[in-house]
């Protein structure tokens, strides 16, 4: 049985300025996205359609806004709507914690749609470029959760070699679910999408597999993650995270079917015939 190592959440203090490890994981996520997206933009079919470093930087700006705004609003709406309805000023108190991946995903989808519209590209051309670059950022975020000793797992058998005591959660051993998510949503999903996205695929297929893969891995991980104490388990003994993954997986399957039928490609061809892609 292991004990969670107490790690100071503050990585660096410069006078009144305090830099937290969790904030640094966001920087690592955005930097990782930039590097990976730049690499993908040099490969077919993106190099042939005019993608360049400047466009990746512009898209990253849109994405950062989507992650922060969507993640916070998703937490407000999905997890504590009544609390924030009574305390609306706390919606802006992001330093107190409270971000939702599914809300961040919706924010990023909105940002990609806006970017696609501004550059006159098909949405799934943007989404297919972006999708394999996201899991590394998710992995970084889960390391931040582990450093903070938060979002711990459910109770575990003490004989489990990697069962861990999180002091803030009490004396009983638990699953280090942050590390499970690091491995599944981060490393495994990245490895699959990067491999799958190396070859030309039907338009929309890479993005569809991201939705299916993340939704499936997160659904599994939720069986080992302690539900939020203010929500507990919901209908069918499923957590909020699992319920949010159900439509995500369903949308991914639908998008994959439409992708293989060539629906998105026909739309993209029609769009390209009307107007050339331009920089925002």
**Is residue 139 exposed (0-12), middle (13-18) or buried (19+ Cβ within 10 Å)?**
buried
Contact status, residue 162 vs residue 136, Cβ threshold 8 Å: no
For residue 1 the two structure tokens come to 């049985």
Q: CA 81: distance to chain centroid?
A: 21
225: left (phi > 0), else alpha (psi -120 to 50), else beta? beta
Residues of each annotated binding site: 142
Beta strands in 144-263 (DSSP E): 164-165, 173-174
Strands 2-3 and 164-165, bridge-based pairing: parallel
Cα–Cα distance measured from residue 121 to residue 271, given in angstroms and rounded to the nearest whole number: 8
Helices 123-130 and 263-274: crossing angle in degrees, nearest 10, is 120
Gyration radius of the chain over CA positions: 20
User: Sign (positive/negative) of CA torsion 235, 240, 246, 247?
Assistant: positive
Residues with Cβ within 8 Å of 149's Cβ and at least 6 positions away in sequence, in order, are 4, 6, 7, 166, 167, 168
């Amino acid at each position: 049985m292991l004990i969670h190592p107490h790690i100071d959440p503050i990585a660096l203090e410069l006078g009144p300025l305090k830099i937290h490890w969790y904030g640094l994981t966001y920087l690592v996520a955005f930097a990782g996205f930039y590097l990976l997206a730049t690499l993908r933009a040099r490969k077919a079919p993106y190099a042939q359609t005019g993608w360049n470093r400047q466009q990746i930087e512009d898209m990253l700006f849109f994405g950062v806004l989507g992650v922060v705004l969507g993640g916070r609003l998703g937490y407000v709406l999905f997890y504590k709507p009544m609390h924030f309805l009574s305390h609306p000023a706390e919606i802006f108190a992001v330093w107190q914690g409270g971000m939702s991946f599914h809300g961040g995903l919706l924010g990023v989808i909105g940002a990609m749609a806006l970017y696609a519209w501004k550059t006159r590209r098909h949405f799934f051309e943007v989404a297919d470029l972006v999708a394999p670059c996201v899991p590394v950022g998710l992995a970084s975020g889960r390391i931040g959760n582990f450093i903070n000793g938060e979002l711990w797992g459910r109770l575990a058998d003490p004989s489990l070699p990697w069962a861990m005591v999180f002091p803030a959660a009490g004396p009983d051993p638990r699953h280090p679910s942050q590390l499970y998510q690091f491995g599944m949503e981060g490393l495994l999903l990245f490895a699959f999408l990067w491999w799958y996205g190396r070859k030309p695929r039907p338009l929309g297929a890479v993005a569809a597999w991201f939705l299916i893969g993340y939704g499936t891995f997160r659904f599994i991980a939720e069986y080992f993650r302690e539900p939020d104490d203010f929500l507990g388990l919901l209908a069918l003994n499923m957590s909020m995270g699992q319920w949010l993954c159900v439509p995500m997986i369903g949308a991914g399957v639908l998008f994959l079917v439409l992708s293989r039928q060539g629906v998105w490609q026909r739309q993209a061809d029609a769009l390209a015939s009307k107007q050339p892609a331009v920089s925002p």
